[in-house]
Structure 1
Amino acid sequence: MLSRYYFRALLVACALVSALGDKAQASPWIEANDAYLRASIEQLADAGYLRGHVNTYPLMWSGIARDLRRIDPAWLNDDELHAYYRVSAALDFAQMERVNGVRTTLNSERARQNGYADMYREHASLVVSRTFTNEHTAARIQTNVRGGSVEHKSYTFEGSYLATTLGNWAFSVDQMPVWWGPGQDNALVMSTNARPLQGFRLNRLEDNPSNLPVLRWAGRWHATAFAGRTQSAGPLGDQEIAGARLGIRPLPALSIGASTTLQAGDNLGRRNHIVGADVRLALPLAVTLYAEAAQRSGSTDVVAFEGASRDSRYALTIGVSHSIMLGQNLQQFFAEHTDVPAFFYDDNTDPAGYRRWGLNMGAAIDQDVESLTLGYRFQTAHGTGWQMRLRDQRMGASNRLVAMQHDIEGRDFDIKRRMVDVNYQRPFAETLLTIGVTYSYDVVRENFLNSMSSESSEHDLAVRASWEFRF
């Protein structure tokens, strides 16, 4: 069993790294916390300038940095040049010898749904971090003081890591947010929705093609694997999880990924085995098609509600995105449809299923749901950005997310939800201010055994703000 005290060792290790020397190297990866940076990376990848796999976060900097050095800005059109400078600026910051950070957030309530880079899981937080790098090692100690969190913990070390390299592989002990797949609003196998896992991680650094003739067709490839802890499940004991992902790029316009995760427990054995595959295809005129499919292996024999006919082992996400430069501003549009069947993330023995403290480790919309998201992002060359998402969702009685939000778990219901989510960010000197508003309208229908039903509606408005200073 993984030791629950290994982050104490991480604290000591960070102190040692800070004393090892100051030869600066890039931080090992790009984190899953900046939707605007991700849009710029995807734009350069779709245009063929970034040649590696870009659908696995944390995303290794090594391949990105290599490809950026080979780009002549004279080759780029206006929108590609905007993306190039955005990614280059992020790389320059990652190559600083030491980085300190302070971030504070205030939320009127915990987010009803977390998409990519959304991590609003408490009413208030204060985050203090310090990052160290030297020739072969990088480390960050990050302390999060929180109020009103879903798991009632007042502080965590979420976001901390210690990473070192051996040959073409990076080994780390960390608690980093993870996003696997091309989805903009949902990832079926691993997403940033739940609290990051404490665990050990292995990443391939350089994504060079294989020299074996039988594998050369796969092009550049990346692999990652992890093993970690989810949470203690009381009398069921500590819960462990392991996962792996492989990404290949056989053609400049085509990226393919495959993911798998498996949970295990002291008294439960192996369970919740989820396998996924995804594809991203870049088309002319800056249009991209993407899809992810996931299958749950094993039994879904849980107590079903009447009418829960969508019980299935297969979930699907399909989407399309388009980027365009208007003036000096980069704009991205996307449409994404996700269908997750009833009981997909449930477990017939462990009440938590594929979740941490009630939040799904896969799709943020949980299960027994069909969701359509229309998204828009706008970013200027100076860092100001807008993001808007419109969501239309239909959720059934095995959806743990809305059952918890409406306090109707254990009853038969269906919910229609309309949601508008708007974020605005603006840099001030060396700081970044972000303000967000989410409005949702739910129509709740409860079904009874006598074929009668009752219907009610609920309006919800949430506001949030964050301020970040890195130096």
Structure 2
Amino acid sequence: MEGVVVKEKDGYFWSITCLMRIRILSAALFFAFLSTSSAFASSSVNVPFALPLYRNMELWVAKGLIQSNLSSTRPFSRAEVGRLLAEALDKCDALKEPTTACSDLQGPTAKYFEEEVSEVRSRGSSPSTFLKPIDALSITYNRLSGPFSIYNNEGINYYDGNNASVQFQSRGRLWNVFSFFIQPIFSYYQKFDQIEGNDEDELRMHKGYVKLTAGNFEVEVGRDSLWWGPGYHGALLMSNNAHPFDMVKLSNPEPTLLPWIFHWLGPFKFNLFFSELNDGRSGSNVAHPYLYGLRLNFKPHPFFEAGLSHLALFGGSGRDLSFFDVIKILYSNKNRDNTKFESNQELAVDVALMIPNIRKLIFLADSVKLYAEGGAEDTGTLPDRRAYLVGMALYNPFAVEKAVFRVEYADLSPGSVPAAWYSHGSYPMQYDGRVFGHHAGSDADDIFFEWSQDIEKFFYKLGLDRERSGIQTKADVQEKNQYFGEMGYRIKDNSNITVRYSYEEITNYMNVKDDDKRNHFLGVEAALYF
């Protein structure tokens, strides 16, 4: 059935899809307004992805200690982490017999977020104004042999030879309303840009932002990373593969239970952001484009989570736009190449199902998480050029305590237009040379396996990642196989050391026949938390 169309005075047509998108945005803003009536948490900064918190929290969710989380929209604020930890600790206190998960929960993580947990239980118990000049400090050394593939590292590059970095994090709060975070990084590269003898050092602000919080509504201005979707190894639209964005972001840091007929949607979170990408684009790529993103996340059942994401890259140098031009670009679903209304857009829907306590039914694991993300690019009555990601995690598989087995597969090579994802003549979905969705990139697929386990103070993981690119568009498909291992040791509650090694085999490097590579990666990191 064809959609109803309305002709505008400038000759463009808005389909019914346009009206649906405007309604989605209106609903998002309406929900945002409702979210301000939720709990009045103090302003707090976000928890960096590098912390083991996210991995540990997934284990506690699998044990059923946390049920009100919305894990598919990250990062979490420290206040939100405090709320979730308080929920889990209360459930542990109610148990007749303590469990291993509860013992772990009451360890270093609870101590690191002690103030946030205390604030949840007693509002006003933590200082309204404070400054932590050094909240975390890390020293990293990495040695690469060959053009080893680095991904999901917030745009931080390493090159052949020796690489070293020192970074620290500072945070603070003013009057419970403002909070701020900075993360400078000093790096040394023996062969910068893979050039022999081109050693270089660099000092830059990796992340830094200020937040204004009013009730359960916050505005974040500055540089930060995002991850949208349930994927562990990748995400179709937004991951931490690229450099953090300079952006203005609106969100509700803690989930809101919506009133009236919307309560059946369960806890709700949203992200809405705008950014200008100043990353030195050249050639046919439009310089200084604008990036818009909207994320809606719901949890209608304690075990089921769903999300909707939308990205648009548009505007830039030489393309002056009015407010109504921007609305038309974002919500009209019309492809207008080589005009100021040109854009590159992506949509995705994701779901995640956690099934806890299933060992009585099957011996395979204590809990299972199943998840999927489906995305579409650009035009069509329904946007087409589809990609998808599916995954599974088994918790305590085969009765192995504190172990997780993961498998995840992504297909980014749609049959209709194989190279559609992330590539575009004017607006490629990249920032500083890196895709900010799935690291595999255009016309590619990726399958990932990982086994990980915590043993007292030790942590290790072993895995394999197999990636193919140029599947349908190149005569010679590039294949990458990465075999990796990681081992960590917690020296004290606030310090740890991690050693990583990876071996990579590449066939038909850069899609050149018989150009094969054998690359190595060795890394050591020491981290201290205050």
**TM tier, smaller:** 0.7 to 0.9
Q: Distance in 1 between matches of 2:306 and 2:204?
A: 35
1:195 paired to 2:269 = no
Residues 319 and 335 in structure 1, CA contact (< 8 A), matched pair in contact too: yes
Residues 419 and 443 in structure 2, CA contact (< 8 A), matched pair in contact too: yes
**CA apart distance, 1:65:** 2.5
1:434 paired to 2:466 = no
**CA apart distance, 1:209:** 1.1
1:371 paired to 2:421 = no
Distance of aligned partners of 1:325 and 1:316 in 2 relative to their CA distance in 1, 3 Å threshold: closer
Q: What does the per-residue CA deviation read over 1:67-100, in whole Å, with 9 as the maximum and x for residues that have no partner?
A: 4334231445635325533653442276895251
Aligned to 1:121: 157
Residues 39 and 332 in structure 1, CA contact (< 8 A), matched pair in contact too: no
Aligned to 1:92: 114
Aligned to 2:54: 38
Distance of aligned partners of 1:260 and 1:83 in 2 relative to their CA distance in 1, 3 Å threshold: farther
Distance of aligned partners of 1:333 and 1:347 in 2 relative to their CA distance in 1, 3 Å threshold: closer
Which stretch shows the higher mean deviation, 126-135 or 324-333?
Answer: 324-333
Q: Distance in 2 between matches of 1:186 and 1:162?
A: 27
**CA apart distance, 1:161:** 1.7
Distance of aligned partners of 1:365 and 1:150 in 2 relative to their CA distance in 1, 3 Å threshold: farther
1:73 paired to 2:92 = yes
**Match of 2:82, SS?**
helix
Aligned to 1:18: none
1:157 to 198, 205, 211: 205
**CA apart distance, 1:372:** 1.2
The one-letter code sitting in structure 2 at the alignment partner of 1:121 is: N
Q: What does the per-residue CA deviation read over 1:254-291, in whole Å, with 9 as the maximum and x for residues that have no partner?
A: 00011111112224644221111111101233111011
Residues 79 and 325 in structure 1, CA contact (< 8 A), matched pair in contact too: no
Q: Distance in 1 between matches of 2:419 and 2:203?
A: 32
Larger radius of gyration: 2
Residues 272 and 345 in structure 1, CA contact (< 8 A), matched pair in contact too: no
1:29 paired to 2:46 = yes
Q: Distance in 1 between matches of 2:463 and 2:272?
A: 31
Aligned to 2:412: 340
Residues 103 and 468 in structure 1, CA contact (< 8 A), matched pair in contact too: yes
Q: What does the per-residue CA deviation read over 1:151-203, in whole Å, with 9 as the maximum and x for residues that have no partner?
A: 99923212212112012211111222211111110111100111111111112
Q: Distance in 2 between matches of 1:313 and 1:389?
A: 30
Q: Distance in 2 between matches of 1:392 and 1:234?
A: 31
Of all paired residues, the percent bearing the same amino acid is 17
**Match of 1:413, SS?**
coil
The one-letter code sitting in structure 1 at the alignment partner of 2:388 is: L
1:142 to 152, 171, 183: 183
**Runs of at least 5 residues in structure 2 that lack an aligned partner in the other structure:** 1-40, 118-125, 195-199, 320-339, 359-365
Distance of aligned partners of 1:328 and 1:94 in 2 relative to their CA distance in 1, 3 Å threshold: farther
Residues 47 and 75 in structure 2, CA contact (< 8 A), matched pair in contact too: yes
The one-letter code sitting in structure 1 at the alignment partner of 2:59 is: Q
**Match of 1:50, SS?**
coil
**CA apart distance, 1:240:** 2.0
Which stretch shows the higher mean deviation, 357-366 or 425-434?
Answer: 425-434
Q: Distance in 2 between matches of 1:186 and 1:393?
A: 12
Considering only aligned residues, what root-mean-square deviation do their CA atoms show, in Å?
3.1
1:132 to 172, 186, 192: 172
**CA apart distance, 1:60:** 3.1
1:417 to 448, 473, 480: 480
Distance of aligned partners of 1:317 and 1:54 in 2 relative to their CA distance in 1, 3 Å threshold: same
Aligned to 1:13: none
The one-letter code sitting in structure 1 at the alignment partner of 2:460 is: W
Which stretch shows the higher mean deviation, 96-105 or 176-185?
Answer: 96-105
Q: Distance in 2 between matches of 1:377 and 1:458?
A: 28
Q: What does the per-residue CA deviation read over 1:269-326, in whole Å, with 9 as the maximum and x for residues that have no partner?
A: 4422111111110123311101111111149xxxxxxxxxxxx711111011011189
Residues 484 and 501 in structure 2, CA contact (< 8 A), matched pair in contact too: yes
The one-letter code sitting in structure 2 at the alignment partner of 1:85 is: Q
**Runs of at least 5 residues in structure 1 that lack an aligned partner in the other structure:** 1-23, 300-311, 400-410, 448-452
Residues 178 and 210 in structure 2, CA contact (< 8 A), matched pair in contact too: yes
Aligned to 1:7: none
Q: Distance in 2 between matches of 1:346 and 1:25?
A: 38
Aligned to 1:9: none
Which stretch shows the higher mean deviation, 128-137 or 171-180?
Answer: 128-137
> Normalised by the size of structure 1, how large is the TM-score?
0.79
Q: Distance in 1 between matches of 2:461 and 2:409?
A: 18
Q: Distance in 2 between matches of 1:58 and 1:226?
A: 14
- 1:243-392 aligned at under 5 Å gives the runs 243-264=293-314, 265-267=316-318, 269=340, 270-283=342-355, 284=358, 285-298=366-379, 313-324=385-396, 330-341=402-413, 342-350=418-426, 353-382=428-457, 384-392=458-466
**CA apart distance, 1:460:** 0.9
**CA apart distance, 1:437:** 1.0
**CA apart distance, 1:456:** 4.2
Aligned to 1:102: 137
The one-letter code sitting in structure 2 at the alignment partner of 1:427 is: R
**CA apart distance, 1:394:** 2.1
**Match of 1:390, SS?**
strand
Total equivalences in the alignment: 415
Runs of 4+ in 1 over 6 A off after TM superposition: 93-96, 149-153, 325-328
**Match of 2:237, SS?**
coil
The one-letter code sitting in structure 2 at the alignment partner of 1:224 is: N
Q: Distance in 1 between matches of 2:85 and 2:274?
A: 32
Q: Distance in 1 between matches of 2:500 and 2:115?
A: 25
Q: Distance in 2 between matches of 1:397 and 1:317?
A: 17
**Match of 1:29, SS?**
coil
Q: What does the per-residue CA deviation read over 1:210-237, in whole Å, with 9 as the maximum and x for residues that have no partner?
A: 1122x11101101111111222324733
Aligned to 1:8: none
Q: Distance in 2 between matches of 1:218 and 1:246?
A: 11
**CA apart distance, 1:381:** 4.5
> Normalised by the size of structure 2, how large is the TM-score?
0.71
Residues 32 and 178 in structure 1, CA contact (< 8 A), matched pair in contact too: no
The one-letter code sitting in structure 1 at the alignment partner of 2:370 is: L
1:470 paired to 2:529 = yes
**Match of 2:256, SS?**
coil
**Match of 1:161, SS?**
strand
**Match of 1:349, SS?**
coil
Residues 276 and 292 in structure 1, CA contact (< 8 A), matched pair in contact too: yes
